[in-house]
Amino acid sequence: MVSYSLVGERLGFAGHQTFPFRYGWLKKAVDAVRDDPKALSSERAIVDLGVGKNMVESIRHWGLATQILTETPQHGLSVSDIGALLLKQWDPFLEHAASVWLIHWLLVSNPARAAAWHFVFGHYPQSDFSKDDLVDGIMKFASRRGANVKASTVARDVDCLVRSYVASPGSSRSTPEDAFECPLADLLLIGSQRDGDTYRFTIGPKRTLPTPIVGFALLQFAKRFAAGRRTIKVGDCMYGPASPGQAFKLDENSFVEYVEDLAEATAGAIQFDDTAGLRQVYLGEMIDPLDLLTNYYQSGASR
């Protein structure tokens, strides 16, 4: 893992050992760490997890990058609150699209562990791109923030990112647990162009993206971006750095529909306001983002 400490932000690169995470890996990470905080760094990890040394390191990285694990110098690894809820109670095998969308958001909103993912789904302005375009953009992004990362490191991150979201031609899986494809490919956020060298974000409505996941992301974004303000412009939620609109590649109409659905789901605590032609999201009574997810999964709506 290559990381750079910045003023108010840390950018992290590498750590995945070139492997996108697979179905079952995050559950393996949670199960292992709940039993032993040092499980993913012990010599027995290869035997216990049934994978090679590089894959053990990759599982550890993805657990931290997706925020289902946390790490402190004093106590080592531990399972985060969201990790315990998602992978021990709600959906251990990521069988439901909502869970994969949630993992996507947690990953792209973690620049300290996944700076390339954070840039591509939070700062990159174009809809079409090549791998070289992303490498160039990430290098400039890192440089502006004082990180002198090697282009070869960034190129490996970009290659891993693309393989995470773009399914291999003709790929299939018999069961999610045995899949070699990354779960993120199911989101269809990136498509490969005919020339094989360029890609395109799928911008617009997301049929499998549930309203509570957007609400969770919106509330987290508001806490960082709005700094206590009760209103946020729709444009900021759509096009601002690290915004839900950027992360989920939505169009404005789709985003507004989600906010209108959230108004009903939160009894008006979140509302869309279009007064005098100024399109804004209004945040009334503060809501714990986890409550949105808890209500959603406990209601059985994810099934």
Q: Residue 294 in contact with residue 98, Cβ under 8 Å?
A: no
pLDDT of 302 reads: 62
Half-sphere exposure of 117 (CA within 13 A, CB side): 28
Residues 119-177 have pLDDT tens digits of 999 999 999 999 999 999 999 999 999 998 999 999 999 999 999 999 876 554 444 44
- DSSP bridge pairs for 192: 199
Q: Which two tokens stand for residue 87?
A: 């992978």
Residue 205 φ/ψ, nearest 5 degrees: -60, 150
Q: CATH 3.90.1570.10: does it fit domain 211-298?
A: no
pLDDT of 196 reads: 76
Residues 6+ apart with CB under 8 A from 56: 40, 45, 46, 49
pLDDT of 1 reads: 57
The angle formed by the CA atoms of residues 50, 53 and 54, to the nearest 5 degrees, is 115
Q: Which two tokens stand for residue 181?
A: 């494809």
pTM: 0.92
The amino acid at residue 274 is: D
User: Tokens 């939070």 sit at which residue?
Assistant: 122
pLDDT of 72 reads: 83
Q: What mean pLDDT value characterizes the chain?
A: 89
Q: Residue 14 in contact with residue 1, Cβ under 8 Å?
A: yes
- DSSP bridge pairs for 28: none
Q: Residue 198 in contact with residue 225, Cβ under 8 Å?
A: no
Q: Which two tokens stand for residue 286?
A: 């503060």
CA distance 106 to 11: 15
| 10-residue mean pLDDT series, the chain (303 residues) | 50 94 93 87 78 89 96 86 96 95 98 97 96 97 93 97 85 48 95 88 97 96 82 94 97 96 93 88 87 92 62
Q: Which two tokens stand for residue 95?
A: 């069988």
CA distance 181 to 166: 9
